[in-house]
A and B are shown apart, each in its own frame.
Chain A
Amino acid sequence: MSDLKGRNKKLKYFEFTRWATQPALIFTLIFFVTPLAIMVVISFWQRVYGKLVASWSGANYIKFFGTDYLLESLTNSIEVTLATTAISILLAYPLAYILAYRISPKWQKVILIFAVLPFWTAYVVRSYSWLLVISENGIINFVLTHLGIIDQPLQMAYTRGATILGFVHFFTMLLTLTIYANLVQIKPSYWKAAEDLGASKLQVFLRITLPLSIPGVAVGAFITFVIAIGDYITPQILGGSTEVLVPQAIMLQVSRAANFPMASVMSITLMLVIVVVYAITAKHLKMNRV
């Protein structure tokens, strides 16, 4: 008797756990997958004289990939994003390393939080603040001219460098977080073992710490890439529209011509780039518990 009851309980239990994932799944399907599918459909339509026409043609794709300056927006985006990711990693890794291994544990979390706080100044305003720093009347020029290091103010604003600067500022904080989280997970016994076997400090770093920290770098780099390549605000404010990146091209289509088909084409292209990058970095993303 009790055995039967027990089996019933187990069945009900399995029932629940079977569908427990479904609410989240259904939600994602409705509000994420469907919109994307619709965008794919719309990318094959066209906007003609203010009306959306279901023309089912690849005309927009041909136009995007066939027009020099439109395709350039894609190459510009990729270049800027790669540069941003690389520089951010270079700046963040030492910072994470120092936090994990050179600061006493008591202070680590505090300094980490402190280092990451500017993450949460309003994004748009922060970009404008950077303009104040790098403009001709800004702090940097002010200090440099007063120290006599330069005669003419440096023209730093409204360039690709300014955009990258704005990005790097944001993503260095992000990467510091992910790399730090990874570094503190590495067991010190590994180093001890390596040193016992005669490895120098440098070798310990290169052959143990670095490889084991790759997942943290990879996760941070991937998130950086995704966010940076889709960002509209930073290049718009700091880059001065001296060149066009894909998100700006998308917004041009949307806000001037309400040309959602063309905007969809560009969005899908962006997504495909991200998928390619994901495929490349996927195997590094798994953080195994070591």
Chain B
Amino acid sequence: MKNLTSKSGSGINRRTFLGYAAGVSAMSALPVRYSHAAGELNILVWCDHADALLLKPFEEAHGVKVNVKSYEGTGTALSIIEQSSPGDWDVLVVDAPDTRVFAEQGILEPLDDANFPIGDLFEPLTSAAFNSIGGVRYAVPEKFGYYGVAYNKDKVDAADMRTAEVMWNEQYKGRVAVYDYYFPAMQLIAISMGIAPDNISMDHLPAIREKLLAMKPNVKLVGDIVSVQNALVNGDVDIVLNGAEFTVSNLMPSMPALDWTIFDEGGLMWIQGISVFKDSNRKELASHFLNHILSPQGQGTLATSECYWAMPANSLAVLSDDQRKILRWDEQAAFFERSVPSTISQPDIDAAMLDIWTEFLQS
């Protein structure tokens, strides 16, 4: 019998296996991009900053690659940052009311006004509270708009839309969608009750809650931008509360029946700001990026991004006449007069509002 036992010592034992396993894992971990490299910029932003049209000029001018991560809710951004290491992110875009949360946690780099075209920005933006937190600037306004109502003017009476009372107008029962953002929704209700958004306190909340719940029977859908747009376009709803230019402007060319306005009682202005991360290793490049976004060219592109349209912060933005018409450029002065910026939220009121909103969705 031939001796076939010569290989009997080569059983697979655990050590060899673990060795192979470690080797394979090490190899497969390599493709993880080392995005701390000098030629890159990591931005944590809203979806309107993802357009190639906006990023390519910057990438080519500076010979870098811009890595985009877009997020929706502020909580998402907070948890993304929490799970990252220092130096992972360079630029942040955040809703004005939430700037303070980020600033207080030491996430943002103080900015010097001299480095940015602050003087060219519309006045109401730069005087909003979030521009100076403890005397320091942490974010530069880059884009703004309103919370009011968007609607299909072929299906509804435009005059009805001008008052906040439309939120409870029985005529439009089941024809209403609400853009899913609790904070401004409740501030709008406060405005309809004559309470200035700045002054909302815990005492006001029960009354606001009542009015919010009273609105629910009219509401067919609460959703994000695309959902409410879908509903408007498909004819399932005719009105979007909490919406405005950002809801319909990019659709208006193909569906001229769409329109928007802010309430006579007062409008709510939303402002998004752009900031630099304190732990960034590329602050100078980040600064250049901010200036690119704030430049007239960049502002024009940002204002008409694929994701949503809104007013650019820079009054020198490059826009065509048609685009200005859709954004209601000429009416802005009038809007400024009766609008207030959406304010900075207090943590406890914010949490209470989120609870009320969950109840509203459930009812």
Given A9-B8, A157-B236, decide whether A241 and B221 contact each other with a Cβ distance below 8 A: yes
B153 at interface (Cβ–Cβ under 8 A)? no
Cβ–Cβ contact A240 & B222, under 8 A: yes
* Total number of B residues with any Cβ neighbor in A under 8 Å: 43
Q: How far is the CB of B18 from chain A (nearest CB, A)?
A: 9
Provide the residues of chain B in CB contact with A236, threshold 8 Å: 223, 227
Given A257-B354, A258-B79, A259-B75, decide whether A138 and B234 contact each other with a Cβ distance below 8 A: yes
Closest to A131 in B: B230
A95 at interface (Cβ–Cβ under 8 A)? no
Q: Which of A99-107, A219-227, A247-255, A271-279 contacts B (4 or more CB under 8 A)?
A: A247-255
Closest to A243 in B: B362
Cβ–Cβ contact B11 & A158, under 8 A: no
Given A69-B363, A158-B220, A241-B222, decide whether A128 and B75 contact each other with a Cβ distance below 8 A: no
Closest to A157 in B: B236
Provide the residues of chain A in CB contact with B38, threshold 8 Å: none
A28 at interface (Cβ–Cβ under 8 A)? no
Given A254-B76, A256-B75, A260-B79, decide whether A50 and B358 contact each other with a Cβ distance below 8 A: no
For chain B residues 325-363, which have a beta carbon within 8 Å of chain A? 347, 351, 354-355, 358-359, 361-363
A242 at interface (Cβ–Cβ under 8 A)? yes
B115 at interface (Cβ–Cβ under 8 A)? no
Cβ–Cβ contact A255 & B222, under 8 A: no
B254 at interface (Cβ–Cβ under 8 A)? no
**Please, what's the 1-or-0 string for B160-201, where 1 marks a CB less than 8 Å from any CB in chain A?**
000000000000001001001010000000000000000000
Cβ–Cβ contact B361 & A50, under 8 A: no
Q: Which of A13-21, A170-178, A197-205 contacts B (4 or more CB under 8 A)?
A: A13-21
Residues on B facing A (Cβ under 8 Å): 5, 8, 11-14, 17, 21, 72-76, 78-79, 82, 101, 104-105, 174, 177, 180, 182, 219-223, 227, 230-231, 234-236, 347, 351, 354-355, 358-359, 361-363
Residues on A facing B (Cβ under 8 Å): 5, 8-9, 12-13, 15-16, 19, 22-23, 49-50, 67-70, 72-73, 76, 128, 131-132, 135-138, 153, 155, 157-158, 236-237, 240-244, 248-249, 252-260
